[in-house]
Amino acid sequence: MRILIVKLGSIGDVVHTLPALAALRQAMPQAEISWVVERQSSEILRDNPLLDRLIEVDTKALRRGLMSGETLRAPRQQLRRLRASAFDVALDFQGLLKSASIARLSGARRVFGYSRAGLREPASALFLSKTVAVPQQTHVISKSLLLLKGALGIPLPETLSFPIRVTTEAEAEAQQVSANAGGKYAILNPGGGWPTKLWSADRFGKLADSLWSDYGISSLVTY
């Protein structure tokens, strides 16, 4: 069976879908599994041992080409990559118009997604061939696993797995940074994709000061 996972981004959303990938691979070891993702969020999936294909897209460029009717080279190339496999099933884990339309454009014979109550953009249900109902206020990880169960009958895993390929270079860099921190440290992540998720630099500075003065913990900042 050829299966397409549709989770375009962001990085956090991709991470939340990794347990579904692990459960899918464990239940269907012979399946050909592909994942379509926005190029800007693709690095975390690159060379993942559980994936057969990683399809990187730029949905903004793709939408511009399709809506304008122009035969732009980049959109044509993206569509060819998306349709390179004759997918039996596409799973829209995102619930957006763009993710559901990508799932439909893939040419998959069946496109599964959440029922309207579970969709972030209910109009995306128009692109789905089958829907799976999930309880409201369900954690996004459990929500993805319930979609997998409803679509393909895959049982919920007892433990969650987050398969990410980590290179030896990345491990060495992390060990070096940890050694340079000189003992206990906290990792501060000031970035975010939405203004509502951003804390001010001044507050992060005060937090780092307090960690050091009160607990002797230095801070490492991700960027």
User: Could you tell me if 43 and 130 lie in one domain?
Assistant: yes
pTM of the full structure: 0.84
Burial classification of residue 152, based on how many CB atoms lie within 10 Å of its CB (0-12 exposed, 13-18 middle, 19 or more buried): middle
Query: For residue 53, is it within any domain?
Result: yes
pLDDT of residue 78: 77
Residue 164 has pLDDT above 70, yes or no: yes
175-211 confidence digits (pLDDT tens):
999 998 888 899 999 987 778 888 999 999 999 999 9
pLDDT of residue 92 exceeding 60, the answer is: yes
Q: How confident is the model at residue 75 (pLDDT cuts 50, 70, 90)?
A: low
Contacts of residues 43-49 at CB distance under 8 Å and 24 or more positions apart, as own/partner, are: 44/11, 44/14, 44/15, 44/164, 45/14, 46/165, 47/165, 48/21, 48/163, 48/164, 48/165, 49/163, 49/165
Which pair of structure tokens corresponds to residue 110?
């069946």
> Higher model confidence: residue 75 or residue 198?
198
Confidence of residue 33 (pLDDT cuts 50, 70, 90): very high
Amino acid 112 reads: F
141 and 177 within one domain: no
Q: Is residue 160 a part of any domain in this protein?
A: no
Q: Judge whether residue 66 has pLDDT over 80.
A: no
pLDDT class of 73 with cuts at 50, 70, 90: low
Q: Which residue range forms the structural domain that includes residue 201?
A: 168-221
pLDDT of residue 84: 84
Does residue 21 share a domain with residue 77? yes
Considering only CA atoms, which of 122, 52, 71 is closest in space to residue 92?
122
Please identify, among 152, 183, 204, the residue that sits at the C-terminal boundary of a domain.
152
Q: Say if residue 131 is in the same domain as residue 217.
A: no
Half-sphere exposure of 121 (CA within 13 A, CB side): 15
Please write the tens of the pLDDT for every residue from 198-208. Answer: 899 999 999 99
Domain final residue, candidates 117, 152, 187: 152
Structural domain includes residue 200: yes
pLDDT > 70? residue 154: yes
pLDDT for position 74? 60
Q: pLDDT at position 193, please?
A: 74
For 142, half-sphere exposure in the C-beta direction (CA atoms, 13 angstrom radius) is: 8
With a pLDDT cut of 90, the percent of the chain lying above it is 72
- pLDDT at site 79: 79
pLDDT band (50, 70, 90) for residue 69: low
CA distance 14 to 154: 20
Looking up residue 49, the CATH number of its domain turns out to be: 3.40.50.2000
Q: Are residues 66 and 121 in the same domain?
A: yes
